[in-house]
Structure 1
Amino acid sequence: MLVVKKALNNNVLIAEHPSYDEVVLIGKGLGFGKRPGDEVAGESAEKFFVLKDAKEQEQYKQLLDYVDESFIGFMNDAIERIEERFQVRLHEHIHVALTDHLFYAIKRINQGFDIKNPFLTETELAYPKEFDVATEIIQALEAAFHISIPPGEIGFVALHIHSALTRRSLEEVNQHTRLISELVYVIETSLELTIDRQHVDYLRLVRHLHHAIERIQKGEYNDNQERLKKILKEEYPVCYNLSYKLIKIMQQSLKKAIPDAEAVYLTLHLQRLAKE
């Protein structure tokens, strides 16, 4: 038996838990008539999750003031689907962030606003597993609430999922996506070409850039490519010089030193694109 701290609505309440301090319990009629201090059987809840942070708790309570209970139920099912797919307990913030994001996305769509996502392709290439689950969630949302949602929204949901999986802020995840888009623009401008977003070499480039950013952030660069660097500098001077231009942009954005070895990998990717 758990002790009720607050009933948020008829189906959602906050209770004291011996292991997690406070938990959010969800179940049909679970919160009806419940007052602080009442006992509730934990197993009677269909779902429960932990909101450890006081700020997160307050934001979730505020969400329930304007979000319909059926939508809250859908979102909890969606988050459970993500956790089952990745076999992980997601960061608690997703209960607030993704619910809030999709609620307002639907509101904007109903008001006639168009949702555009300039980083949709880059997001799909960088986070294919998250993108697949996001696609399923959007399709389920369309069926449940009889609404047509623009494809760009899949990318935004995928970023929320990746943020929760990696426990990195959404702002940081978005920064990396924008950085890659900027790097691609510089490549196209410098080499005077338009990259086919469906081409395998573009896929390789974007995935490499994402992996490079993660390695740089974690300080996992130990590569020594001095011999290959000299060869590439002589063989492909245009692509080699462009690789250093890209590295400077990355350094300014990430505020991290980037080893010279990255110039080797970038030069090889750039040469493949230039050749095409």
Structure 2
Amino acid sequence: MQIKKILNNNAIITHNSKHQEMIVIGKAIAYGKHPNETVDETKIYKVFMPASRGDRKLILDMINEIPVQFFQIAKQIVDKAQMDSDIKLTDSVFIALTDHISSSVDRIKSGLSLTNQFLWEIRSYYPKEYRIGQWAIRLVNEDCQVQLTDDEAGFIALHIISGELGDRLDEFHEVINFVKKVTSIVTYQLSVEIDRDSLDYNRFVTHLKFFWQYMMDQSHKRVIGDLSDDMLAVIKGKKVAAYECAMKVKAFIQQNYDYTLTNEDLLYMTIHIARITDKT
């Protein structure tokens, strides 16, 4: 990789084989180097290909203002999310994480901390992303000699959720509200207290989140075969209370989202409701 322009000791501009500009970041990647020389590619943390002038300016401003340490930390978090949890994240998440972590460390060193008003919801409904957030603050605390709190784990998780939802972060609030309301129907209809830390409840929440995404995507239409009808009849006979509760959920969804649950939807809803209530 050949240097076209040196931004600082840790960042350069180069071009790929299609003559597209790339901004490359890595610790001491340009130290002692000059334009037209090559760099040690093993030192690279991140390669950006700005899609617009605005993106380019944002990245260059960050390179000038934020220590390279935070780019490295953000890379480790993104790598953790993608490798351990198979979460696909965009460059915008990397940028947002880098900026957020840098700001968080500055705040905590100044004696300031922020309260995350969605911490309970993130922890309860997005446990995978929250665990990554917890891992991330342990990394930051060790590398930067600070003590970030669980609130910050929630904020980092929210950035990861944002990356998963793309430009649809508003859906986070809608999905949380949907899960809350369906859970309330189950607890009220069956007069039970659900163990929200249980594996079965986590599976139920995951099912609801996937169902929400499917329900909002009107381009997909499923064809229900006889097998689903037969299985629903069997489940209905064995899990009467759970089935009746699923019918309440169906009515709620029909009224509020103008979506009619199919027999297959009812089958899965009934199975999940039975799992989270049978052990209570």
**1:262 match:** 265
Q: Which amino acid is the alignment partner of residue 140 of structure 2?
A: L
- 1:173-221 Cα offsets, whole Å, 9 max, x none, are 6243443234324433454443221234312311221333344447264
Q: 1:250 to 1:206 in 2, by over 3 A?
A: farther
1:83, CA displacement in angstroms? 4.8
SS in 1 for 2:9: coil
Any stretches of 5+ residues in structure 2 without a counterpart?
Answer: none
> Is 1:118–2:120 an aligned residue pair?
yes
Question: Bigger CA drift: 112-121 or 221-230?
Answer: 221-230
> 1:244 aligned to 250, 253, 260, which one?
250
1:79, CA displacement in angstroms? 3.2
In structure 1, distance between residues paired with 2:154 and 2:9 = 33
1:137-216 alignment to 2 at 5 Å?
Answer: 137-161=136-160, 164=163, 166=164, 168-169=166-167, 171=169, 174-175=172-173, 176-216=175-215
Q: Which amino acid is the alignment partner of residue 181 of structure 1?
A: K
1:123, CA displacement in angstroms? 0.7
Asked if 1 retains the 8 angstrom alpha-carbon contact of 2:26 and 2:68, the reply is no
Q: Which amino acid is the alignment partner of residue 159 of structure 2?
A: H
**1:71 match:** 70
Asked if 2 retains the 8 angstrom alpha-carbon contact of 1:228 and 1:264, the reply is yes
In structure 2, distance between residues paired with 1:195 and 1:87 = 29
Any stretches of 5+ residues in structure 1 without a counterpart?
Answer: none
In structure 2, distance between residues paired with 1:235 and 1:146 = 56
Q: Which amino acid is the alignment partner of residue 123 of structure 1?
A: Y
**1:99 match:** 98
Asked if 2 retains the 8 angstrom alpha-carbon contact of 1:247 and 1:263, the reply is no
- 1:95-144 Cα offsets, whole Å, 9 max, x none, are 212222333344454413333412212111xxx3x554443322111111
Asked if 2 retains the 8 angstrom alpha-carbon contact of 1:243 and 1:263, the reply is no
In angstroms, what is the RMSD of aligned CA positions? 3.8
> How many residues of Structure 1 are paired with residues of Structure 2 in the alignment?
265
**2:229 match:** 226
1:244, CA displacement in angstroms? 0.8
Asked if 2 retains the 8 angstrom alpha-carbon contact of 1:4 and 1:14, the reply is yes
Asked if 2 retains the 8 angstrom alpha-carbon contact of 1:243 and 1:267, the reply is no
SS in 2 for 1:194: coil
Give the fraction of aligned pairs with identical amino acids, expressed as a percent. 18
1:89, CA displacement in angstroms? 7.7
SS in 2 for 1:2: coil
In structure 2, distance between residues paired with 1:272 and 1:152 = 31
TM-score (norm 2): 0.73
1:63, CA displacement in angstroms? 2.6
Asked if 2 retains the 8 angstrom alpha-carbon contact of 1:14 and 1:23, the reply is yes
In structure 1, distance between residues paired with 2:276 and 2:88 = 40
In structure 2, distance between residues paired with 1:261 and 1:87 = 27
> Is 1:43–2:40 an aligned residue pair?
yes
Question: Bigger CA drift: 201-210 or 155-164?
Answer: 155-164
Q: 1:152 to 1:264 in 2, by over 3 A?
A: farther
Q: Which amino acid is the alignment partner of residue 137 of structure 1?
A: A
